[in-house]
Amino acid sequence: MLKKIILSLISVFSLINFSHAQPPALAEKDKTAYLFVYFTGNNPSDEAIRFAVSTDGYRYWSLNKNNPVLDSKAISSSGGVRDPHILRCEDGKTFYMVATDMLCSKGWDSNRAMVLLKSTDLIHWTSNVINIQQKYTGQENLKRVWAPQTIYDADAKKYMIYWSMKHGDNNDIIYYAYANNDFTGLEGEPKPLFIPRSGDYCIDGDIIRKDSLYYLFCKTGNKQSSGIKSATTTSLTSGNWTESDSYLQPTKEDVEGSCIFKMNNSDNYILMYDLYRAHSFQFTKSTDLKNFTIIDQDVQLDFHARHGTIISITRDELRSLIKQWGKPAGFPEINNNPVLSGFYADPEILYSNKTKKYYLYPTSDGFTGWSGNYFKTFSSDNLTNWKDEGIIIQLGKDVSWANRNAWAPCIVEKKIKGKYKYFYYFTAAQKVGVAVSDYPAGPFKDLGKPLLSDRPEGVNRGQVIDPDVFTDPRTGKSYIYWGNGFMAGAELNSDMVSIKPGTLTLLKPDRTFREGTYVFYRKGKYYFMWSEDDTRSENYRVRYATSDSPLGKFTIPENNLILAKDTLQGIFGTGHNSVIQVPGKDEWYIVYHRFSYPDGIKMGDAAGFNREVCIDKLEFNTDGSIKPVKPTHKGVKLK
């Protein structure tokens, strides 16, 4: 009795401790490319926003053949924009861009305004002009408004816009104001953000946060000398800045327009700046934001850039930009694995005859201790580009009998009385439930009780998890399989939500079986796949057996390991799979999860609940045996 109480308390503590741990809005692993936003020169046609993209942060290709992606006349009051700065918001999916509203042909002291832009897809932008002189009193002496930028102020929980202004004969200094909630205007009066203790002018500020410090990089100086210096603070509006004494740029050329950004999945930072008199652009590298080394030999631009900024983007965002503006000549191929952004695992795949699309049904991962409580689905017509169809089941809300541990679903399409129905089997609170829908993306209605809740008779270990459902193409009968530590199977009744009495069978794979049964049929053979080891192990992997019937005796090949880690590629923890056949073809693919790349292998046990979904080719020998699968980053693309 005491043992049961202790176990119950541990279970409750686990829910309290882990349920709050949410995946990030954007996982660092999904930052796989870069967007460079810039303008090109001092002619009116140059003073417009252009985009370039990169996969490695060093080599950049211009989009739209280096033509503007936004019409300056449509978004500005002057007809030109310069110094564009772009920021990804805290929600991971909204982008803010700000720029100087200016045509330099009208004079360097001609502008009083900035442009604020907002987008959720990097393609379509809304814009607003903020004229400082017109908006605020006491600005009669204002000469110019230059190089606005945006940063999220974690203390204020607001987005701060900061820029340099010059009044009369005074030096330029950096001011700030907070943006309103919809990023269409400014709140409050502009206030000084940073004034160098030397009293020198200060322009082109760029701020990045590292650990607990904000680092401001800006151009500062006087008639005798100028360059890029830095200052740090723990609070943006405190006025307490610790300034560097020397210039940071390791060049004797005149510089301006600095931008600092962090390399993806790296401890390196890039400080880049405009060599405006040399008509060039320079990148430098640092790990401490204090010492910078020129890396000209590594950098390639197929365009001439002026003051601009770079942010990290995802593979899906990169694809979207290329779809809109065209793929630049020479741009490298884009990897397709993982196929989903974010953390997902235990993938089930379905081809729907109703919609003629593929659907993925994974575990929602990234929750500490596998504590996720909802399921999503994704659709695709090519196995490469996947659309998030949203949450299809929320435990507690849609499922009354469980509110925790949403794991390892599976689905089957059945034509009943001439209409397609979808039966979705899922793990919740270590039980197996079933929900039904008329459409592969839902909505699904839960049965109202578990389909499976207890271990089969005679089994005294393991968990009632990891269902798989299979319809025999020879007979039309459907079967369900489940188990961790044991492999059980049974025939489903024609209603698909109950077990046919007398059919429950304990199947006998080899001793490598752990969990994740998956069954499919090809050319007279039934293939049974399963995962070996623990999902937290880098050696989590897939084996298989064959049979002559859905519940029959197994034939286990001598070498039945068909998917395992590839240390040279940094691929680990490959397991819990499903399989898909391209309709009408003997063309097969395996869908599985792996540790998140590249840092999963460094995460210890947490790698087991920070996983990602991949797809690779599944091939067979002439005797029907499965060829070992080579896991890849490249992934697949339908012919």
Read off the pLDDT of residues 171-219 as tens digits, 9 standing for 90 and up: 999 999 999 999 999 999 999 999 999 999 999 999 999 999 999 999 9
- Residues 356-370: what's their mean pLDDT? 97
Residue 403, pLDDT above cutoff 70: yes
Question: Which pLDDT score is estimated for 23?
Answer: 87
Residue 14, pLDDT above cutoff 50: no
Question: Which pLDDT score is estimated for 430?
Answer: 97
Closest CA to 499 of 508, 512, 490: 490
If pLDDT is split at 50, 70 and 90, which confidence band does 549 have?
Answer: very high
384's tokens: 């490469």
Residue 15, pLDDT above cutoff 90: no
What percent of the chain shows pLDDT beyond 90?
Answer: 95
Examine residue 125 and state whether it is found in any structural domain, yes or no.
yes
Residue 19, pLDDT above cutoff 90: no
pTM score: 0.93
Helix ranges (H only) for 185-243 are none
- Which range, of 327-336, 546-555, 564-573, 630-639, averages the lowest pLDDT? 630-639
Residue 639, pLDDT above cutoff 90: no
Residue 478, pLDDT above cutoff 90: yes
If pLDDT is split at 50, 70 and 90, which confidence band does 151 have?
Answer: very high
Question: Which pLDDT score is estimated for 2?
Answer: 38
- Residues 338-349: what's their mean pLDDT? 98
Sign for the CA dihedral angle at 432, 438, 442, 448 comes to negative
Examine residue 98 and state whether it is found in any structural domain, yes or no.
yes
Question: Which pLDDT score is estimated for 8?
Answer: 43
CA distance 377 to 379: 7
Question: Which pLDDT score is estimated for 605?
Answer: 97
- Residues 312-339: what's their mean pLDDT? 97
CA distance 566 to 558: 21
Examine residue 107 and state whether it is found in any structural domain, yes or no.
yes
Q: What is the CATH number of the domain that holds 94?
A: 2.115.10.20
Closest CA to 588 of 624, 619, 544: 619
* Count: domains in the chain: 1
Examine residue 588 and state whether it is found in any structural domain, yes or no.
no
Q: CB of 594 within 8 A of CB of 633?
A: no
Examine residue 124 and state whether it is found in any structural domain, yes or no.
yes
Which residues constitute the domain of residue 107? 28-325
Examine residue 446 and state whether it is found in any structural domain, yes or no.
no
Q: Is the peptide bond before 23 cis (omega within 30 degrees of 0)?
A: no
If pLDDT is split at 50, 70 and 90, which confidence band does 638 have?
Answer: confident
Residue 135, pLDDT above cutoff 80: yes
If pLDDT is split at 50, 70 and 90, which confidence band does 637 have?
Answer: confident
Question: Which pLDDT score is estimated for 22?
Answer: 76
Pairing relationship of beta strands 50-54 and 33-38 according to DSSP bridges: antiparallel
Question: Which pLDDT score is estimated for 1?
Answer: 42
CA distance 167 to 33: 40
CA distance 34 to 54: 5
If pLDDT is split at 50, 70 and 90, which confidence band does 4 have?
Answer: very low
Question: What DSSP character marks residue 571?
Answer: B
If pLDDT is split at 50, 70 and 90, which confidence band does 577 have?
Answer: very high
Q: CB of 213 within 8 A of CB of 289?
A: no
Three-state secondary structure call for residue 67? coil
Residue 469, pLDDT above cutoff 50: yes
Question: Which pLDDT score is estimated for 3?
Answer: 40
Examine residue 173 and state whether it is found in any structural domain, yes or no.
yes
- Residues 312-336: what's their mean pLDDT? 97
Question: Which pLDDT score is estimated for 21?
Answer: 63
Mean pLDDT rounded to a whole number for the chain: 95
Residue 5, pLDDT above cutoff 70: no
218-246 confidence digits (pLDDT tens): 999 999 999 999 999 999 999 999 999 99
- Residues 539-546: what's their mean pLDDT? 98
- Residues 249-257: what's their mean pLDDT? 95
Examine residue 135 and state whether it is found in any structural domain, yes or no.
yes
Q: CB of 346 within 8 A of CB of 594?
A: no
If pLDDT is split at 50, 70 and 90, which confidence band does 540 have?
Answer: very high
